[in-house]
Amino acid sequence: MNNSEHYFDWAATSPADDDILRESLELTLQSWGNPSSTHSVGKQAKKLLDEARERCAKAMNVKAENIFFTSGGTESDQIPILSMLNKPSKGTILISSIEHPAVREQAEAMKNCGWNVASIPADKNGIITPEAVEKLLTSDTMLVCIMAVNNETGSIQPIYEIADLLLEHYAGKRKPKFHVDCVQAAGKIPLNISHKGIDSAAFSSHKICGPRGIGILYLKDPLDPFLRGGGQEKGIRSGTENIFGAVAFSKCLKRYYLRTIILDDDTVYSSYSQYIKQTETTDSFLKNLSSLNCCTIIPPTRMENKELFSPYVVQAAFSKIPGNVMLRALDSKGFYISTGSACSSKKAGRPVLEAMHISPDLRENSVRFSFGPHTTQTAVNELFEAVKEIATAFNGK
């Protein structure tokens, strides 16, 4: 593992697990053929790819036939959205007001194709409630997109309750597809994507110590892809497969993925104790931050509703310190954080915080601390001391 002791931007990307990448690279150097080729070299590569798919499926407790490899979380989010363009008639797409740009920007582009796109409002905690979803459901709603864990605040969305709502609301009728972005949830909180109301889900390798450029799209049922090509991945995602990425991602899922139902498989659940440990570490960090008069946890109600948030993401604002100033001050001390989504870092505005009705001053001063499986209590304590020193310099005692 790379030296990442004071790295607190895991929600943007994670340092890779060296042992997994080296082992996966060695395997793919030995099986370098094109898995679509029918000769023995191609068959050897296909066997490696099939084994990776099976490993992913076992970790996620789904069937291998439901796993499709993509180039990353963005593509895994966009395939279900773009598939709507093949529908014989246009309808409505509902997305949460706190979605990642991978969903939000693609949904916005669908408007240019004649689709109606509606935003589901979040409550003060940044939660999309089933009631908020139900208010916007119509007879022509064809797709609903809601992320499992928000990448800026860590708010955990009630995806299972929303899935159940959709099943009940459309009982006996055509139900809209329900897509879940699980990029910030995989390996961080327990997941059950085989829940009967979830139709598709997106995952990204580089968020859980794997390589960049590889993702997974879970599909409960086949869909008609808008983009076509050579027919790889059963036509869902054409293009020669990234075997190295698939193998490495599968090994990371085996190491870190958490299911909602704990089985007797210590290998799969090796990270469950880490989840409990991180919860304790984050609780301590939140208490320390709350002791600073100049600090506001976002949302301010998080301390009373900690069960609604992933322990791997914390958003906070500091009076008199713009977020980019805090980022640079910590960077100069060797601590690495962000001001929000890495995919939005060059764009003005904070759509997620705006959707939560966070005041402009707090939005400007907010920063994100995000953690991973290799984050230690000692490192987090040192982070707080650095934050406290900077906050005191700007605000006094």
Catalytic residues, by residue number, are 343
- Output the CA torsion 264→267→269→274 (10° steps): 140
Can you read off the two tokens belonging to residue 374?
């290799």
Determine the 3-state secondary structure of 63 from DSSP: coil
Q: How far apart are CA 22 and CA 280, in angstroms?
A: 32
Can you read off the two tokens belonging to residue 307?
């069960």
Query: The sheet that has 177-181: what strands, in order across it?
Result: 67-70, 215-219, 200-204, 177-181, 141-145, 92-96, 116-120
User: Exposed, middle or buried, 367 (CB in 10 Å: 0-12/13-18/19+)?
Assistant: buried
Q: How far apart are CA 136 and CA 162, in angstroms?
A: 13
Q: How far apart are CA 41 and CA 96, in angstroms?
A: 46
177, 142 in Cβ contact below 8 A? yes
Closest CA to 251 of 77, 66, 69, 53: 53
Q: Which residue type occupies 169?
A: H
Q: Which residue type occupies 295?
A: C
Q: Which residues contact 84 (CB under 8 A, 6 or more apart)?
A: 91, 93, 110, 115, 142, 143
Q: What is the DSSP letter of 308?
A: G
The span from the first CA to the last CA of the chain, in angstroms, equals 38
Using CA atoms, how far residue 1 sits from 18, 54, 216, 366, in Å, is: 5, 25, 23, 30
Q: What are phi and psi of 293, to 5 degrees?
A: -60, -25
User: Exposed, middle or buried, 45 (CB in 10 Å: 0-12/13-18/19+)?
Assistant: buried
Closest CA to 125 of 300, 367, 363: 300
